[in-house]
Structure 1
Amino acid sequence: MPPKRVTAAERGRAEEIYRILEECYPDVRCTLEYRSPFHLLVMTILAAQCTDARVNLVCRTLFDRFSTPRDFMNAPAGELEREIHSCGFFNQKAKSIRQTSRMLEEEYGGMMPDTMEALLRMPGVGRKIANVILGECHGKPAVIVDTHCQRLAFRMGFTKREDPAGVERDLMRLWREEHWTLFSHRLVYHGRAVCTARAPKCAECRINLLCPKRGVGKTAPGKTKTP
C-alpha cells in the first residue's frame, strides 16, 4: 500500500511546529561529547538504554585508554567491560564495540563508512545509530528516532506507527531534508525539557495549541502558553 499523501494542512502544521521549536532551541547539537566519528559510534552503542550524561562521563576516561578501532579490537579481556560497566549491558556492548572495531579496521582501514547499508552491517548498529553517524559526521540528511523523538512524534500526531523505521519514514515526508537532523535534535531537547514521558508540561509548551496530545494522560499544572 502506498504511503498516505501529506496534505497542505499537515505540512503547514509541521512547518509551524518546526519554526516554534527552532525558536525555543536555536543552538541544538548532539548531546554526546565526541572527539571523532569513531568515538561517536562507540558512544552511540554505549548510549542504548543509558543516559548521554553517563556515557559522556564514562568516555572521558575510556578514550584516554582506548582511542582507535585497533585499540578497542585488541582491548584485553575484561578491561573494556570494566570501563563501560556503569553504562549497563556491558558484556553485549563490549562485544559489539570489539566486533565493529575489527570490521572498521579490516574492511575500511579505520575510516567510518558513509552509507546506511555499510553502517547497518556493523554489530550493534541499527538505523538510529546509523542515522546519527550519517547526520553528525557526514552531513547527510537523517531522521534520528530515539525514545524522545518517537514519543513526541506520536503525541504531536505526526505518526501512528510504533516501529522506529516507520516513524522515520513518516517524519521524512513532513519536512525538507535540510531540516531532518536538526529537527530530530530539537525533539530530543523538547522531550527532555517539556514533553516528558510522565506528566508532560503541556501548559508551558509553546506548541500546546498545535498538538493533539495523543496518548497523554496526566499533565503537569501551569499556565497555558500560546505559539
Structure 2
Amino acid sequence: MTRPRAATLAPKRFAGETVLGRKRRARKMARVLAETHPDAHCELDFTNPLELAVATILSAQTTDVRVNLVTPELFRKYRTAADYAGADRAEMETLLRPTGFFRSKTNSLIGLGQALLEHHDGQVPRKLEQLVKLPGIGRKTANVVLGNAFDVPGITVDTHFRRLTNRFGWVDEQDEVKIEFLVAELIEKRDWTMLSHRVIFHGRRVCHARTPACGACTLAAMCPSYGTGPTEAAPAAKLLKGPRARDLAAAAGVDPDLVPASALTPVLSPVPEDVVSSTPEDAVSSAPEGL
C-alpha cells in the first residue's frame, strides 16, 4: 500500500520540526510514557487467544470494565471454536446484552467460531492477513490479538491512540491504518505493543478527549498541544483518573493530595440499547470514550 503522508505540525511550539526531530521527540515521549504507566497492559481479561479475540470483539461500543463483567460466564459456557459455532443465538444474546450491540456481536462470535473450524482447525491464527478475514476482526482487533496473545508486535489504533498521536504531533491523520504505518516509522518495532497500551492508558487517565489534564501531565514539555486543558496544578489534578491517579500527579510534580478520592475508582458508563451495526469492528470506530 502507499505510505501515508508525514505529519504537518501546526502547533507553534514545534513549528519547523524536522522529520528526525519528530522521531527523536516521539521516542523520548514513549520512554516517558513507559515510566509514567509501568502498569500498562491489556485491560481485557483472557487466558488464551480465543478468549482475547472474543473479548476484543465485545469491547466495541462499551468499556473494558463492562466486558470483563460479562466474559467470565461467557468463557465458562463457550470454551472452544466449536462451542461458539454451535451456540444457541438467543442464549448468547442474553449473555451479551449488557455490552450493547448484542445482536451484531452474537453474529460475529458465531461466525468467528464457524470460520475458525472451517479454515483454521478451530485455532486462532497467528498472522494478521488471516485474522482480518475472520468475522468481527479488523486490523485493530488483529493487532490486539497478535501483540497480547502471541507476542507479535503490533500497533493498536483505537480512539484514544488516534486522538493522542495527533495531539502529540506524531501524525496529522485520522485514518487508523495510516496512523498505524506512520507511528511504526517513528517507534521501534519491539515497542509497538506496549506503546499501544501506554498511549491508551494515558488517554483514559490523563489526556481526556474534552479536557486533558495538561497541568498534571508528564509529557507537558514535549507536547505541542499543551494548554488544550488547564495548565494549573489544582484543576488539572482533579481530571486525573484511575487507581494510580495520585502516582500520576506525583510523577508530573503535582501534589497528589489534589487528586480527589473519587478519581481512584472506575465508574461504569451506560451503554446504548442494542443497535444493529454492520459489524462490531464498525462500531469501534465511532465508539465513545471508555474508562
TM-score normalised by the chain length of structure 1: 0.93
Structure 1 contact 200–220 (Cα < 8 Å) conserved: no
For residue 233 of structure 2, what is the aligned residue in structure 1? 222
Structure 1 contact 201–221 (Cα < 8 Å) conserved: no
For residue 267 of structure 2, what is the aligned residue in structure 1? none
CA distance in 2, matches of 1:220, 1:123: 44
Structure 2 stretches of 5 or more lacking a match? Answer: 8-17, 237-251, 254-291
For residue 83 of structure 1, what is the aligned residue in structure 2? 95
For residue 28 of structure 2, what is the aligned residue in structure 1? 16
TM-aligned CA deviation for residue 106 of structure 1:
1.9
For residue 135 of structure 2, what is the aligned residue in structure 1? 123
Q: How many residues align?
A: 225
For residue 106 of structure 2, what is the aligned residue in structure 1? 94
Structure 2 contact 89–106 (Cα < 8 Å) conserved: no
Say which of 107, 127, 148 aligns to 1:136.
148
- Tell me if 1:210 matches 2:232: no
1:61-90 C-alpha deviation (Å, 9 max, x unpaired): 111111211111111120100000010111
CA distance in 1, matches of 2:22, 2:192: 16
- Tell me if 1:181 matches 2:182: no
Q: Output aligned runs, 1:153-172, within 5 Å.
A: 153-172=165-184
CA distance in 2, matches of 1:41, 1:4: 32
For residue 49 of structure 2, what is the aligned residue in structure 1? 37
The SS at the match of 1:27 is coil
- Tell me if 1:57 matches 2:84: no
The SS at the match of 2:209 is coil
TM-aligned CA deviation for residue 197 of structure 1:
1.2
In 2 relative to 1, CA 8–77 (structure 1 residues): closer, same or farther, beyond 3 Å?
A: closer
In 2 relative to 1, CA 4–196 (structure 1 residues): closer, same or farther, beyond 3 Å?
A: closer
Over the matched positions of the two proteins, sequence identity in percent amounts to 36
The SS at the match of 2:104 is helix
The SS at the match of 1:159 is coil
For residue 280 of structure 2, what is the aligned residue in structure 1? none
Structure 1 stretches of 5 or more lacking a match? Answer: none
CA distance in 2, matches of 1:92, 1:122: 14
CA distance in 2, matches of 1:163, 1:219: 28
> Higher relative CO (CA 8 A, sep ≥ 6), structure 1 or 2?
2
For residue 160 of structure 2, what is the aligned residue in structure 1? 148
TM-score normalised by the chain length of structure 2: 0.73
The SS at the match of 1:167 is helix
Say which of 32, 48, 51 aligns to 2:60.
48
For residue 66 of structure 1, what is the aligned residue in structure 2? 78
Say which of 6, 27, 44 aligns to 2:39.
27
